[in-house]
Amino acid sequence: MRDRIKVLLTTGVLCGAFMAGSPLTALASVGPGFAEGAYAATILSESVDISKNMETKEPLLTAQVGNVYEILEELEDGWLKIRVNDTEGYLPVSENVQVEEVDEEEMAQIQKEAIESSESYRRQQLVDYALQFVGGRYMYGGTDPHVGVDCSGFTRYVLQHGAGVSLNRSSRGQATQGTPVSADQMQPGDLLFYGGSVNSIDHVAMYIGNGQVVHASTERTGIKTSPWNYRTPVKITNVLG
């Protein structure tokens, strides 16, 4: 898509209008296509900020060069409403943003990538949430990492507060939830269970990517990260869907 630019619309903004040979017109709000075609915004420079809203310009995330976003609506004062992961964001038009018309096939690909990014974005947010507790106290029977937790108390708290997923209290109980996956299928946020067998599980950890897990380990080490195979897991599950 990036190599087949159909309509180049942005070289700057003047009085809320696009400075371009062909104006961007009649973009409809999100729905089954736009009145005058579908458009996408490609980021041309590093570190372009996308805002949660136009008024406060509170940052939603920082886009990177090459990122492509579906345009949902053209707004006043040179702003675009775009689809970002599983939400919406606001992008100011500038020389750092290229707007182009895309066909149905190209838009379908952009939307597919957005769905995939949404899942990875959600999982990364969960990982970031869990990692804030590294260094915290291990406490047998504990359920709050701010005070002290055991292994299943930690995963239960993180999944509940970081992703809205309810888990059973014990590691054995948690192992009955979700969908089993293999080691080469696991993603950040998946749970790894350890023990002598699937019938004698005694520990649970959460995969955080790059071959690592985070877990409430022992009273001596507390909440820490470890290689995922520091022990051989007997089961791995996807509880995020």
Specify whether 62 is located in the same domain as 156: no
**Is residue 52 a contact partner of residue 60, using CB atoms and an 8 Å limit?**
yes
Specify whether 98 is located in the same domain as 132: no
Where is pLDDT greater, at 58 or 241?
58
Specify whether 98 is located in the same domain as 176: no
The residue-averaged pLDDT of 164-193 equals: 97
Domain-located, residue 107 = no
Terminal-residue alpha carbon distance, the chain: 31
User: In this structure, what CATH number is given to the domain that contains residue 165?
Assistant: 3.90.1720.10
Domain-located, residue 115 = no
Domain-located, residue 87 = yes
Specify whether 61 is located in the same domain as 138: no
Q: Which residues pair with 39 in a beta bridge?
A: 101
Domain-located, residue 95 = yes
Specify whether 30 is located in the same domain as 94: yes
Domain-located, residue 108 = no
Specify whether 136 is located in the same domain as 234: yes
pTM over 0.85: no
Tell me the pLDDT tens digit for each residue of 76-116.
Answer: 888 999 999 878 999 999 999 999 999 999 999 999 888 88
* Residue 194: burial class (beta carbons within 10 Å; 0-12, 13-18, 19+): buried
Q: pLDDT-derived band of residue 222, with 50, 70 and 90 as boundaries?
A: very high
Question: How many domains does the chain contain in total?
Answer: 2
Confidence check: pLDDT of 22 > 90: no
Compute the distance between CA of residue 148 and CA of residue 162 in angstroms, rounded to an integer: 17
Domain-located, residue 119 = no
Which range of residues forms the domain containing residue 50? 13-102
Specify whether 43 is located in the same domain as 133: no
Specify whether 137 is located in the same domain as 38: no
Task: Look over the chain and give the mean of its residue pLDDT values, rounded to a whole number.
Answer: 86
Specify whether 19 is located in the same domain as 57: yes
Specify whether 92 is located in the same domain as 131: no
Confidence check: pLDDT of 16 > 80: no
User: In this structure, what CATH number is given to the domain that contains residue 40?
Assistant: 2.30.30.40
Domain-located, residue 173 = yes
3-state secondary structure the chain: CCCCCCCCCCCCEECCEECCCCCCCCCCCCCCCCCCCEEEEEECCCCEEEECCCCCCCEEEEECCCCEEEEEEECHHHEEEEEECCEEEEEECCCCEEEEEECHHHHHHHHHHHHHHHHHHHHHHHHHHHHCCCCCCECCCCEECCCEECHHHHHHHHHHHHHCCCCCCCHHHHCCCCEECCCCCCCCCCEEEEECCCCCEEEEEEEEECCEEEEEEECCCEEEEEECCCCCEEEEEECCC
Specify whether 97 is located in the same domain as 134: no
Domain-located, residue 47 = yes
User: What amino acid positions are annotated as catalytic residues?
Assistant: 151, 203, 215
Placement of tokens 């020389």 in the chain: 95
* Cα distances (angstroms) measured from residue 109 to each of 98, 218, 225: 18, 46, 36
3-state secondary structure 114-130: HHHHHHHHHHHHHHHHH
What is the amino acid identity at position 61? L
